Amino acid sequence: MGHVRFRSAVAPLRRGPFPVPAARPGRASRAVAEIVRDLRPTDPLHCIRPSVLTETAGRFVEAFPGTVLYAVKCNPEPAVLRALHAGGVRHFDCASPAEVRLVRQLFADAEIHYMHPVKAPTAIREAWSRHGVRDFSLDSAEEIEKILAETDGARDLGLFVRLALPKGGAVYDLSGKFGAQPDEAARLLRRARAAAARVGICFHVGSQCLDPLSYDRAIRLAAEVSRDAGVELDVLDVGGGFPVSYPDVTPPPLNDFVAAIGAAFSAAGFGPSTSLWCEPGRALVAPGVSVVVQVLKRRGQELFVNDGVYGSLSDAGVPGFRFPARLIRAEEGAPAPDSAFAFYGPTCDSADFMKGPFMLPDDVGPGDWIEIGQLGAYGGCLRTAFNGFDQARLVEVEDVPLLATPGYSSNARRVA
């Protein structure tokens, strides 16, 4: 009889086996270009900017008039989570047993909220009995009964009804998979109120939402559902969706979103006992990580590089996200004028293509390295082992982001 074996799909990011050269005296970490020229990496190099992550988290926590839950799925790298924790994030939105375990291992005092609306019974029981999770989201009668059964009818639960929203204008529309329609959401609220210590409504306007008024419309709908149910909410969770900058996108500043949410929350008539939550992911981590790739071949304006859509650059594939990029050479020199390039990744699949355009000096060629920014959101966690290209390394660096987002700043050192 064979043995059952478990295997993770992707090897974790590694800090070795190569030694990372020490920072210069008086500095906690080094600049990306310095490290690349010393290491000459032949695998993708993930560059984490702890000071950027910590400051970004601190500014968001300070600006938002409620509780900030970090959406762990966006980037579960422990170094990222520690930097966000240092910035004041104490609440974490988890969507799987593995994420719950990770957060609990890192932070014994963290508040963990299981905000996936469809969970395995064993996942609910583990989260509740072993890791102290009390908050769960749901969007069906079956799910609420499952939660109650797996928590032995506990009376200290928080139950959050995921409300379906009409299709919106976010870059990633999230209206199709989860959410109860308003009539059903009202029924679920009444059932939750009868069974739980606190109840709430949660929703998601879509990832990379560029319209602050999207939150206004969703909050007003949540208020209507609450009134129809005859249930006063303990929590209104406005979800994630807060945007960041990309080369072709400059979103409204964070304060515009905060103002729209605050105004809608006040106008909707929620009582003084209703708390406001949010679940940012991209907005907290996108600027804090970049990836360095190496050029393997040039064919006209197409560069073959050692990472791609099956690795850290999934969003640069079919979704068509553009990312800031800069050239790093083994030796410094005067740069050529910029030109537009497309990338092919390292796999044998022709779909491993990133149209870009990526703006780089026109004389870029094999052996050069390219740093690609704004990859803290989903750049590491969507990697696969396809074709065996699953090797990557991780270092902590001091550079500022390659691209600034309105409403944020950084005290990280700007290094050429």
Long-range contacts of 335-339 (CB under 8 A, 24+ apart): 335/361, 336/361, 336/362, 336/363, 337/361, 337/362, 338/362, 339/301
17 upstream amide cis, omega within 30 of 0 = yes
Global pTM reads 0.91
> In 3D, which of 279, 289, 354 has the Cα closest to residue 95?
279
In terms of DSSP H, where are the helices of 132-171? 141-150
What does the pLDDT look like over 331-346, one tens digit per residue?
A: 887 879 999 999 999 9
Which structure tokens are listed for 41? 């990496």
Which DSSP symbol is given to 306?
Answer: S
Dihedral of CA atoms 69, 250, 215, 111 in degrees, nearest 10, equals 0
- Asked whether residue 300 carries a pLDDT value surpassing 50, the answer given is yes
**Residue 34: exposure state from Cβ atoms within 10 A (0-12, 13-18, ≥19):** middle
What stretches of 258-318 adopt beta strand conformation (E)? 275-278, 289-299, 302-305
**The predicted structure's pLDDT at residue 415:** 35
Identify the CATH class of 50-285.
alpha beta
**Cβ 43 vs Cβ 392: under 8 Å:** yes
**The predicted structure's pLDDT at residue 345:** 97
Please list the residue range(s) of the chain that carry CATH number 2.40.37.10: 32-49+286-396
- Asked whether residue 411 carries a pLDDT value surpassing 60, the answer given is no
In angstroms, rounded to a whole number, what is the distance separating the alpha carbons of residues 244 and 61? 16
Which structure tokens are listed for 292? 């360095």
**32-49+286-396 is classed in which CATH architecture?**
Beta Barrel (2.40)
**Cβ 24 vs Cβ 267: under 8 Å:** no
Average pLDDT over residues 115-141: 97
Find residue 68's DSSP bridge partners. Answer: 278
> How, if at all, do strands 235-237 and 198-202 pair?
parallel
**Angle at CA 291, nearest 5°, toward 289 and 293?**
175
Which DSSP symbol is given to 312?
Answer: T
In angstroms, rounded to a whole number, what is the distance separating the alpha carbons of residues 18 and 219? 50
- Asked whether residue 361 carries a pLDDT value surpassing 70, the answer given is yes
Please list the residue range(s) of the chain that carry CATH number 3.20.20.10: 50-285
Dihedral of CA atoms 58, 254, 223, 133 in degrees, nearest 10, equals -30
In angstroms, rounded to a whole number, what is the distance separating the alpha carbons of residues 36 and 395? 10
**Cβ 35 vs Cβ 302: under 8 Å:** no
**Cβ 173 vs Cβ 208: under 8 Å:** no
In angstroms, rounded to a whole number, what is the distance separating the alpha carbons of residues 71 and 314? 19
In angstroms, rounded to a whole number, what is the distance separating the alpha carbons of residues 330 and 312? 23
- Asked whether residue 19 carries a pLDDT value surpassing 90, the answer given is no
**What confidence tier does 416 reach under pLDDT thresholds 50, 70, 90?**
very low
What does the pLDDT look like over 257-267, one tens digit per residue?
A: 999 999 999 99
Average pLDDT over residues 31-40: 95
**Cβ 412 vs Cβ 398: under 8 Å:** yes
**What integer best gives the mean pLDDT of the chain?**
91
Residue type, 199: V
**Cβ 284 vs Cβ 243: under 8 Å:** no
> In 3D, which of 98, 204, 120 has the Cα closest to residue 160?
204
In angstroms, rounded to a whole number, what is the distance separating the alpha carbons of residues 291 and 277? 31
**The predicted structure's pLDDT at residue 334:** 81
Find residue 246's DSSP bridge partners. Answer: 249
Lowest mean pLDDT among 172-176, 324-328, 405-409: 405-409
- What SS3 state is found at 109? coil
